[in-house]
Amino acid sequence: MDHEKKKLKLEYARLVGKLERLLRRYTPIDPSDEFSDGDDYETLVPPLVSLLMRGCGREEIFRAIESYRANYWMKVPPNPEQDWKITDAVQKAYLNKDKVDRKPRKQSKPLFKLNLCKDLEDVLDYIKTQVQKFLQEAETVDGVADRVYRIESGYEYSQCGWVMIYFDTRPEASPDGQWTRFIDKHRIERIHWRKASSANMRGPVSVVDHEGKEHLISEGSEIDMSRAIGLMLKSALLRARDQGILLQLSLAPTCALGVEDFDGHFGWPTYGTNDDDALVTQIHRRE
């Protein structure tokens, strides 16, 4: 019984984190309101997770979103088109929650080969560049670098293909999507990720992960693709930490690392959990 409760709690926490990351793309609630940039759908997440875990359908989820818009943001006009988009995105994320690597059909040949070992080296070089850029810009302002409270790597692979790193200097820094405000400023393109994703919509693709192991990912396995990229970025951050690259920054004692897929398919550390390995100041030689 205790095992089942623990399993449910873990599933609940995983879904909460996934939906929070997913719903950030729909912020602000009212784009026409210049003061609405701080609005978000955070209050929607717990009831949506409860509905999904109870097996509620599309219509009921839509009504819940519509109701929250009316009751919690009374000055915001109705937007059924947006609410249906959110409904479909939420349902898709939930239906994909348990997807794991599926064995491709026999004799299926990969339509694309994605080598993440090369990306790992590129991202490490990019992190070095961003650290130096951050230090130079900080010195230009007041001669002293701002203290960094969180280091986040965000990415998107299916629509455009990019990755970014963000040094969060807010004392209250948390995995709240702050990095998404600076995508255009910091991102570097990864067009081949988009090509791999496009190929995966038509058939299986081959992915060489950050450890050099090759995997055949079956058609339409966006969760598996995102996880492979996310783990590569996690490895890049840990290597940058262990090699002392990140230690050039003025780090808060609690400064932590994080990785997030813009579409919510992957996040590290798992939302609601503490991972000592994510602390920048606690160096581990083993990833």
Distance from C-alpha of 131 to C-alpha of 235, rounded to nearest angstrom? 17
Percentage of the chain exceeding pLDDT 70: 79
User: What local confidence, expressed as pLDDT, does residue 5 receive?
Assistant: 65
Query: Does residue 249 surpass a pLDDT of 80?
Result: yes
Which strands make up the sheet holding 162-168, listed edge to edge? 188-189, 162-168, 147-156, 250-261, 267-268
How high is the mean pLDDT of the chain? 83
Query: What is the distance in angstroms between the CA of the first residue and the CA of the last residue of the chain?
Result: 34
pLDDT digits (tens, 9 = 90+) for 162-219: 999 999 999 999 888 899 999 999 999 999 999 999 999 889 999 999 999 999 999 8
Domain extents for the chain?
2-95, 113-278
Q: Is the pTM of this model over 0.75?
A: no
- Pairwise CA distance, residues 229 & 157, whole Å: 8
Q: What is the CA radius of gyration of the chain?
A: 20
Length of the chain: 287
